[in-house]
Chain A
Amino acid sequence: MTRYVVTRLALMLPTLLTVAVLVFILVRIVPGDIVELRLVSGGSFVTPGVIEAERERLGLNKPLWDQFVAWMVGIFRLDLGLSMWSGNPVAQEIAIRLPLSLQLAVMASLIATAIAIPLGTLAALHRGRWIDQVVQVISVAGLAVPSFWLGILIILLLLGVFGYLPPLTFTPLLDNPRANLAQLIWPALAVGYRYSAVTTRMTRSALLEVLREDYVRTAWAKGLGRQVILRRHALRNALLPVVTVIGLEFAFLIGGLVVTEQVFNLNGVGKLVVEAIGQRDYTLIQGLMLLVALGYLLVNFIVDLLYAWLDPRIAYH
């Protein structure tokens, strides 16, 4: 098991390196850099000397190859460089925003699961009947409603009907759980609903498959109660593909956060992505892309480990 874990972690390195190389190439091939954008676009007059000095400071005047080597060497020393816009270390820029986004992602994922598993189960048990149809409509709609619009509607509803506006400044969870949750529950709902759709479908189809199994028929034949069969025999075995989907969706939650953090004016990683791209902050973009890739790999890895725990037949060597 330990050996498996180590091998898997080691195998992440080549993928991350590919991402690093790819992102660097993609981001740097374009003409026009941040120095011009920041110093010249303001309309103020700057001497070429100032621009050159700034390029020098950010290392943009060096040959591309040298910049690349510096970036790669930095990665191995866990140094992502300095943000070209703010001048702070990239790792720090990300670190101060990560707790918020991570908490939001976990909450959204929990909400999605809390919607998906009961709804999917209900749909499977009432297959083809009106409950099933309603669930299908709910999940199909979830994929079509843009989460930013849902966020706007939630704000409108809270303000218009209840005259309530969620707190606008972020309080860490441990400082004041109430204020923290009062702020984050709404964006988590907006994102969670959207991400529940695929999981609902998966729960329904996985459960339908398991309900056809011989051991479920045996359980019925033994005269076991409906609840026991559902919980002990069916749902547990249907969980495996559902866990995969929840994991994958969690890894992709950053995609939902990118827009939702904007709606709720949350200073998280998603908003940082949009800002970094708007400002052509190369080093920050590179760092963020690495983070997203790392998150995806880690989540996949954890899902694989969960498999072994959920299904004793699966063993890793």
Chain B
Amino acid sequence: MTAEQVLAERVAAPARRRRHPLARFFRRHPAGAAGLVVILVLMGVALLAPWIAPYDPVANDFRSMFKPPGVSHWAGTDAYGRDVLSRVIFGARTALLIGFGASLLGATIGAVIGVASAYFGGKTDLLVQRLVDVLLSFPIIIVALAIVSIIGTGIDKLIVAIALSFVPRVERVVRGSALAVRAMTYIEAAQAIGAGAWRIIFRHMSPNVVAPYLVMLTASLGQAILLESSLSFLGLGVSEPTPAWGLMLRGAAVDFATRAPWMAVVPGLAITTTVLTFNVLGDALRDALDPRLRT
């Protein structure tokens, strides 16, 4: 089920008005709606990258290195003569793949652990929560870096590393909601008719913590893209020649400053715009789904 569908159901259920739930979301949260549109456009760009991009993003062309923005290269070229605009367009694929992959994986693992921890309670819960406490005392990027140091770099590993670094945060929030669900009579009823622990966790508790799960998921999207670009920038993320925004900003500081300042501008703008829209959408969705989580 997509975020919009769940959102639609949630918003529609108590109101029973004629207006389409999505229309309501658009009316009440214009900024979030604008964010949604921008993200759809971005997804379109990522999907259609091979048709939109004017050049091959990984093709070196040593006759046109460090070309400033002009008619043939709208955003200029880099040290290998690669078209910056084409690399930014293809970079959207990397960013969105890692952003969605890591957020979905991390939020899901976190939510399952959170619900399970709340259900089992007692010593299990205590142990899990102390572990989470320890992990929460590290900035996310440090956790992600530590995991990268263990499993290595590359897109697939980056998704895992970023996802795992989100787990403690999601776990804590979802567990909070799950504790309330745990106390409901229908859980007791399920136990009484002999339902197993995991059946209760997945069939009875999980559906009732979908709101915090979705909120954490959308809040993670922008963060994941920011993390990916930071790690790639540090040389511990996506590796050359894969087009990735953070990677495009890496290591060429001297080139930026002296010869090709345009190389720094477009990829950075791409990161900022994307993270900004995901954050705005996430905030709007949080307000719509679960205003209590507002900070």
> CB within 8 Å of B: which residues of A?
15, 18-19, 22-23, 26-27, 29-30, 140-141, 143-146, 148-149, 152-153, 155-156, 159-160, 165, 198, 201-202, 251-252, 254-255, 258-259, 262-263, 265, 273-274, 276-278, 280, 285, 289, 292-293, 296-297
Contact = CB atoms under 8 A, between A and B. Distances in A.
A115 to B, nearest CB: 18
A201 to B, nearest CB: 7
B140 A255 contact: yes
A259 B253 contact: no
27 contacts: A30-B150, A30-B151, A140-B279, A140-B280, A143-B275, A144-B222, A144-B279, A145-B268, A146-B229, A146-B233, A148-B233, A149-B272, A152-B249, A155-B256, A155-B257, A156-B256, A156-B264, A159-B258, A160-B257, A202-B295, A254-B142, A258-B141, A258-B230, A265-B253, A276-B149, A285-B146, A293-B137
Nearest to A155: B257
B247 to A, nearest CB: 12
Interface in B114-139: 130-131, 133-134, 137-139
A277 B146 contact: yes
B234 A15 contact: no
A19 B230 CA distance: 25
Interface string B233-269: 1111000000000100100010011100100100010
Given A144-B276, A259-B230, A259-B233, A277 B148 contact: yes
Contacts of A280: 149
Contact of A144 (B140, B235, B275): B275
A149 B264 contact: yes
Given A146-B226, A255-B139, A255-B140, A141 B234 contact: no
Nearest to B137: A296
B150 A26 contact: yes
Per DSSP, chain A at the interface is helix
Given A15-B137, A165-B257, A259-B230, 4 more contacts: A27-B150, A155-B256, A277-B148, A292-B137
Contacts of B140: 255
B33 to A, nearest CB: 16
Contact of B276 (A30, A141, A148): A141
Interface of B: 130-131, 133-134, 137-142, 145-151, 222, 226, 229-230, 233-236, 246, 249, 253, 256-258, 261, 264, 268, 271-273, 275-276, 279-280, 295
B99 to A, nearest CB: 13
B229 A159 contact: no
Contacts of A265: 253
A280 B148 CA distance: 10
A15 B133 contact: yes
A77 to B, nearest CB: 23
B264 A141 contact: no
A155 B261 CA distance: 10
A278 B235 CA distance: 9
Contact of B149 (A153, A201, A277): A277
Contacts of A251: 137
Contacts of B276: 140-141, 144
A290 B77 CA distance: 43
B268 A255 contact: no
A191 to B, nearest CB: 12
Contact of A278 (B134, B142, B236, B295): B236
Contacts of A277: 145-146, 148-149, 236
B151 A289 contact: no
Most buried by B among A152, A274, A296, A297: A152
A251 B136 CA distance: 11
A15 B131 CA distance: 9
A149 B148 contact: no
